[in-house]
Amino acid sequence: MFVPKRILPDEKRVPPVRRGALSIATRMHAATALAAICIPVFASPHALAASKPPLFLRSCTITPPEPSPVFSFPAASKPAAVSDDEDDDEDDESPHGFVSPGLGACVAVSGTVNAGLQRDSYKANALARATGLVPQGAISFPLSASFRIETGQTLSDGHYLASAFEFSIDTSSDGGSELTMSEASVTFGAFAFGLAGSRFDFWTGDDFAFIGRIPSRTVALIGYERQLTEQLSLSLSVEDTSADRRTVLPNRGNRVPDGVARLLYEQDGLTLHGAIAVRDVPGGGSGRVGRAAILGATWEKTLLDRPLTLTAQIAGAVDAAPYIGSRLDQRTAFSALTGDLTTRGWSGVVAIGREWTDEWSTNTYVSRYRLSIPTSSGLAGLIQIDRVAANLVWAPVDGLRIGLEGSIAWQKLDIAGNARAASLSGRQSSAQLFFERTF
């Protein structure tokens, strides 16, 4: 007897499929699966590499790790946490760069272009004018540029490796140009090698166009720096000032590098800098030991909701003239000096910087430079330079500074039988409109 098949409610009804259509669908599915298996097996390595997504440069920031202090003390109460805006400002001070594929170091490239219109005038006495070497008042168009490449990375063993390479090009009024190497150094952990700024130096005057246009004093050094406490660090270095041909006094005979020791204290906007230098000065058949010391301080404070910076520095030297004075003072004094001279002198500076708005700021400094050249028969020469300078700077956007700066220097160079020194005596007044762009 015929019994009809019972269809349960949950059983799905599948519509009939033609035999031809089922065969084609099955074959297409099989072909797709076979291609997916065979292509990775038989494809060339170049084809597989091309199929990978491309690698791009990644942004980074060169931030050296904070060294562990030798002496640790119980943590004091910390001030209230800073706002996000303050954190951003601190991060902006670190060089921003890139990490390329396959390169573990962060590379930062920066530079500065400084151009201006400058007017110089000179007022000298009859004795200085009689030399015929006193320059006439003139208008010039100074132009300078600097280029810097620096890298930084933390190695697998925890040591920090960094390098810096910087040079500058200065164009004179007669159309000539001079290439100067400012830095070529390598830092590995606590050690530094190569060409760099002296660890003795403190105030550099880079906020002023007249000083900023002169390359900083560069020395060849081997240095070691260690953080003693969270605020205090010690730096020891051997330095050779002859690496800088612009501000070094020529000496005869063999020399050994100078020794420099520095203590640096930094906390809550206060920076204290103290350093001593010892150098061997050959001459007269027997060596002389030169020595120099410096003490500097910078205090940063917010006054009426705007930043205020005060800086003071005083330095003294015996047979170590390259360690005192600003770059402007050294350029003037050393152009009239010869090597192997016994010298004694000191220099001091007071500078004030004030930001009035986000775009407008002013800077002012007063300096004094004294260098005497004593002999067994008495005083053989004296160099005195008093200088005052001020500027007004407008920074409408980051990396752009437009300013007006003025400077007056009273110079007296009294060296017996030196016509060049006599021609530099008098009053020099300079005014400049400058344009500075950093990238």
Q: Can you give the pLDDT at residue 26? A: 45
Q: Can you give the pLDDT at residue 162? A: 93
Cβ atoms of residues 141 and 117 within 8 Å = yes
d(CA 138, CA 404) in angstroms, rounded, equals 18
Burial-class residue 434 by CB neighbours within 10 Å (0-12, 13-18, 19+).
buried
The CA distances from residue 126 to 100, 132, 412, 423, in Å, are 64, 10, 13, 10
d(CA 337, CA 249) in angstroms, rounded, equals 7
d(CA 158, CA 191) in angstroms, rounded, equals 14
Q: Can you give the pLDDT at residue 66? A: 83
Burial-class residue 4 by CB neighbours within 10 Å (0-12, 13-18, 19+).
exposed
Q: Report phi then psi at 399, rounded to 5.
A: 90, 0
d(CA 348, CA 367) in angstroms, rounded, equals 6
Domains and CATH numbers, the chain: 110-150+162-438 (2.40.160.10)
Cβ atoms of residues 200 and 216 within 8 Å = no
d(CA 105, CA 3) in angstroms, rounded, equals 83
The CA distances from residue 268 to 48, 272, 301, 302, in Å, are 56, 12, 9, 12
Structure confidence by residue, pLDDT tens digits, 413-424: 888 777 778 778
- CA 49 to chain CA mean position, Å: 42
Q: How many CB atoms lie within 10 A of CB 380?
A: 17
Percent of the chain clearing pLDDT 90 (strictly above): 41
| CA distance between the termini of the chain | 98
Q: Can you give the pLDDT at residue 339? A: 65
Q: Extract the residue ranges of the chain whose pLDDT is less than 50.
A: 1-50, 78-79, 81-91, 284-285
